[in-house]
Amino acid sequence: MSASLLMARPREIALGVLFFALWMSGARAGEDQPLWEFGAGATALSFPAYRGSDTSETLLLPLPYVTYHGKVLKSDRHGVRGQLFESDRFDLTVSAALSPPAPSKDIEARRDMPDLRATFEIGPQFDATLWRSPNRARFLKILVPVRAAYTAERSPKHIGWVLSPKLNMDITDLPGMPGWNLGLLAGPVFGDREQNRYFYSVPSSFATPQRPAYEASGGYAGMQYLASISKRFPRFWVGGFVRYDNLTGATFDPSPLMRERDNFAAGIALFWILAESSTRVPADD
């Protein structure tokens, strides 16, 4: 396992935004919130080079803090998304995700293979609220994003589709911990043949005695579990998360690039709120 302490490069900024966009805390349930907020802070992250890798990085980097609660475009603890349809129980949004590049020179399993490019995913997400407390401070949802994946380069290359349905529970104002919010996510990940080939196939031209040729197929890509906690103070926000991936039974398990069936990622962040809108809008669930 290798580790490095780095300051902000484009890929680390993208990764930090990817992780912490999901857990930025807005107003408490039932309260109005600013239309937008802007700030700055720092985060420390530890994550695998890719799911199933035995190489990881540890980073310290500065990040901006931005939330926006428009009627269509939203950027908050649920990520960056476009609201296409909303009812009391159902939502249809356009959601996106990012992943950083992984230089093969830093990953023993991929030595002398082409680098993994940074990727971005975009597609529709359907949300259904299964349960909500009367004061709307707690809820249980099922989230079903279906995203097309592309490499992030001058001429993006389509690298398949990803489906990752998850159960999501949010608890605002933890018992005995006023103002602290807990988020829990759990569910399987599925990738089509093109997606799994990008990360786990070994072309014959890059095969070695220790790394035999392998062709990945589409299908089940493991389980993912995530827990996050955060609190918004008057002028700053603090939060953290732990993510666990279990790849036992994944369709690409025989790949020589699969080195670990258990992966952990974690991070903490502290942001100062420098400015906010005087316009107030209802808090999102």
φ and ψ of 65, to 5 deg: -120, 120
Angle, vertex CA 77, rays to CA 265 and CA 86, nearest 5: 130
The token duo for 183 is 């988020």
> What whole-number distance in Å separates Cα of residue 279 and Cα of residue 285?
19
Partners of 230 in the beta sheet? 181, 239
Element (H, E) at 56: strand 56-69
Compute how many other C-beta atoms are within 10 angstroms of the C-beta atom of residue 135. 10
For residue 248, what pLDDT is reported? 97
Per-residue pLDDT tens over the stretch 188-245: 999 999 999 999 999 999 999 999 999 999 999 999 999 999 998 989 989 899 999 9
For residue 85, what pLDDT is reported? 56
Q: Where are the alpha helices (DSSP H) in 68-150?
A: none
For residue 1, what pLDDT is reported? 37
The token duo for 285 is 């669930």
Q: Are strands 177-191 and 79-86 parallel, antiparallel or unpaired?
A: unpaired
Name the pLDDT band for 163 (thresholds 50, 70, 90): very high
Per-residue pLDDT tens over the stretch 31-82: 577 878 888 998 888 889 999 999 998 888 888 877 776 665 555 555 555 5
In the chain the beta strands, taken as DSSP E runs, fall at 32-34, 36-48, 56-69, 73-76, 79-86, 90-99, 119-132, 138-151, 158-163, 166-174, 177-191, 219-232, 236-246, 262-276, 280-282
> Which of 29-43, 121-135, 158-172 is most confident?
158-172
- pLDDT of residue 12 exceeding 50, the answer is no
Compute how many other C-beta atoms are within 10 angstroms of the C-beta atom of residue 144. 15
The gap between the terminal CA atoms of the chain, to the nearest Å, is 40
- pLDDT of residue 23 exceeding 70, the answer is no
Name the pLDDT band for 13 (thresholds 50, 70, 90): very low
φ and ψ of 257, to 5 deg: -85, -10
- The 3-state DSSP class for residue 96 equals strand
- For 87, residues 6+ apart whose C-beta sits below 8 A from its C-beta are none
Name the pLDDT band for 118 (thresholds 50, 70, 90): confident
For residue 196, what pLDDT is reported? 98
φ and ψ of 128, to 5 deg: -130, 125
> What whole-number distance in Å separates Cα of residue 39 and Cα of residue 17?
13
For residue 245, what pLDDT is reported? 96
- Contact between 285 and 40 under an 8 Å Cβ cutoff? The reply is no
Q: What is the pTM of this model?
A: 0.84
- CATH number assigned to the domain covering 10-279: 2.40.230
- Contact between 196 and 160 under an 8 Å Cβ cutoff? The reply is yes
- Residue of 153 and 205 predicted with greater confidence: 205
- Residue of 252 and 175 predicted with greater confidence: 252
Partners of 186 in the beta sheet? 167, 225
Residue spans per domain, the chain: 10-279
> Which residue's structure tokens are 């299908």?
219
**Which of 119-123, 220-224, 277-281 is predicted least confidently?**
277-281
> What whole-number distance in Å separates Cα of residue 24 and Cα of residue 97?
15
Nearest C-alpha neighbor of 168 from the set 223, 230, 226, 123? 226
- Contact between 119 and 159 under an 8 Å Cβ cutoff? The reply is yes
